[in-house]
Amino acid sequence: MRRSRGFTLIELVVTIVLAGVLSLAVMQFISAPVDAYVSQSRRAALVDEAQLAIRRIAGDVRSAVPNSVRVGCSGRCVELLHAFSGARYRASPPGDELSFLPADADDRFEVLGPLNPVAGLGTSGSANACTEGLAACVVIYNTGTAGTNVWAADNAATLRAIGGTPLLVQFVNSGFSSGLPAFPASSPEQRFYLADTAITYLCDPSTGTLRRYQGYSHAASQSAVDTHAELVGRSNPAEHALLATRVSQCTFRFTPGTATRRGILGLRLSLSEAGERITLQQQTHVDNLP
């Protein structure tokens, strides 16, 4: 009888070694494309997150009250006063014109031309409601300099009411920093703005976060609202939302411009994860004609 014969130990070992060598060779062809796909997907996710953050910041900056943008925190934060709407006020009769003479103690004016919808704007009879972030502010001729600086409450008044035919804006005229019942200066173009909230974007590479803050009480100096603790510790605390994570670097640079040239806010934002790093830059024009 012919004896049945199986694999020897040497043959089995050789087979295992050859299978391992072939597996390693195949993995070289498979792992490289897979790693490239994973890396590309990770970079795409980082780019999407950074782009969404930059677009949000640019949108708010373009809607800022002229000359209200200011950069602090060694370039890691930017603050602005958001203009919800705006139009022109009547400066001469007939109609209810706005007087800038303290003796007139004027507290209302007629709106000229179209005004974007203002439903939802907060109103109040308190002089401090504007600067406390509890009601909308009426702002006229903000230059950002002493005497006409909205952050110092030089030219910001609490919106008391808006409506009627013709359309009238009523404001509380006892909250100006001068103590006088009148706006300190008129706008050459008769412009006024209705500002609904202060906004801060704060970048913190130590925690890898970029946050947006709004609805807080104003501060004359930005150094009083340039940290998370300060913003949420205001008399009217800020509401905040996480805008981006995995932030490794963030830099704001602001060039104010002149009376004939717009300002420019530059933003450089870097996000990184698992060895992948992307950096996006954008410049946003800022209106500065009050």
Please report the pLDDT score of residue 120 as a whole number.
84
- 274 vs 135, higher pLDDT: 135
pLDDT digits (tens, 9 = 90+) for 136-145: 999 999 999 9
Please report the pLDDT score of residue 37 as a whole number.
52
DSSP E strand boundaries for 113-208: 137-139, 156-163, 168-172, 191-204
For all residues of the chain together, what is the average pLDDT?
90
In degrees, rounded to 5, the angle at the alpha carbon of residue 219 between the alpha carbons of residues 159 and 260 is 75
Choose among 95, 101, 80, 103: nearest CA to 169: 95
Please report the pLDDT score of residue 286 as a whole number.
87
Read off the pLDDT band of 117 (50, 70, 90).
confident
Please report the pLDDT score of residue 79 as a whole number.
98
- Nearby residues of 17 by Cβ (< 8 Å), 6 or more positions away: none
pLDDT digits (tens, 9 = 90+) for 220-267: 999 999 999 999 999 999 999 999 999 999 999 998 876 556 789 999
Which tokens hold the place of 196?
């609904």
Distance CA 253, CA 181 (A): 37
Q: Is the pLDDT at 68 greater than 80, yes or no?
A: yes
Q: What average pLDDT does this structure show over 255-280?
A: 85
Please report the pLDDT score of residue 118 as a whole number.
86
Please report the pLDDT score of residue 265 as a whole number.
94
Choose among 194, 234, 193: nearest CA to 216: 234
Q: What is the distance in angstroms between the CA of the first residue and the CA of the last residue of the chain?
A: 110
Please report the pLDDT score of residue 236 as a whole number.
97
Q: How much is the CA Rg of the chain, to the nearest whole Å?
A: 30
Q: Is the pLDDT at 1 greater than 60, yes or no?
A: no
Please report the pLDDT score of residue 4 as a whole number.
56
pLDDT digits (tens, 9 = 90+) for 186-231: 999 999 999 999 999 999 999 999 999 999 999 999 999 999 999 9
Choose among 167, 114, 176, 113: nearest CA to 141: 176
Q: Is the pLDDT at 31 greater than 70, yes or no?
A: no
Phi, psi of 151 (to 5 degrees): -70, -25
Distance CA 96, CA 265 (A): 38
